[in-house]
Amino acid sequence: MTTAVASELRRQELARFLRSRRERITPEQVGLPLVGRRRTPGLRREEVAQLAGVGVTWYTWLEQGRDINASEQVLQAIARTLRLDPHEHTHLFRLAGAPEPDRERDCQVITPAMELMLKKLEPYPVAVRNARCDLLAYNRGYTWLMGDVDAIPFEDRNTLVQCLLNPDWRERMLDWDTNIPRVIASFRAAMAEHVAEPAWKNLVKRLKAESPLFAELWPQHDVNSEPIRTKRYLHPDVGLLRFNFTYLYYGRRSEITVSTYTPADEETAAKLPLMFD
């Protein structure tokens, strides 16, 4: 099979994949009003284009399997609009002939051995993140502390996004007002090595649009690489909790960290669940 034929087959498969995912999403799911009679199931092409912030003609060509190049930024926007799960997200990039997204590559480091380690550390909360604050893995102790993380859409499982945009997280973090400027400053420091990467720029753009505090603090260019060592939480069932943080890096040059929350006092230790079902 020639390269040209293989590329054509891949584009046609991409077209079919996009159509199938567009047709499974209802207007109500994305907050669009039902106006008039709809001849096709799911969203219309122009609605996907509008929600993703791309041109209608360009998106139509993509669904028609035309020979056009899609940037990572555009593919990420389409993936969010179509609510793709992690496997579908990676599949979209492969069909589009684009490099695998950073987050998907990072998720591959979560080996069975690491998953076992996270489980064995329960009931202590443990979370694995990359430099962009994407939440790559976590144990049941972490969901007990922060709420139902599994219910958060995959594309929103980012601790910076949740700290700034999720009221439930803000209520649980007692020192939010003090710590969040340091978290933003730490994120800016980490971004120094990723300033040209679309995923990072898209995250900044989103937070500037949706978080007034982020929009206020980001232009100040404050940086801080010193991690927060102790945090306080207000759990809805057991009340005040104090944790010390231990940060372990996955490798010498890795930006992936394993954060372990250990009780800072006996009162907190006594409140942790003894076991999970």
Q: What is the pTM of this model?
A: 0.67
Mean pLDDT of 111-131: 91
**Which comes out higher in pLDDT, residue 218 or 28?**
218
Mean pLDDT of 241-265: 86
Residue 179: predicted pLDDT? 93
Mean pLDDT of 81-110: 73
Residue 253: predicted pLDDT? 59
- Residue 248 confidence (pLDDT) above 90: no
Q: What is the pLDDT of residues 19-36, one digit of tens each?
A: 898 888 888 777 777 666
- Residue 173 confidence (pLDDT) above 60: yes
Residue 103: predicted pLDDT? 59
In DSSP notation, the chain reads: --HHHHHHHHHHHHHHHHHHHHHT--GGGGT----S--SSSS--HHHHHHHHT--HHHHHHHHTT-S----HHHHHHHHHHTT--HHHHHHHHHHTTPPPPHHHHHHTT--HHHHHHHHHTTTS-EEEE-TT-BEEEE-HHHHHHH--GGGS-GGG-BHHHHHHH-HHHHHHBTTHHHHHHHHHHHHHHHHTT-TT-HHHHHHHHHHHHH-HHHHHHGGG-----PPP-EEEEEETTTEEEEEEEEEEESSTT---EEEEEEESSHHHHHHS-S---
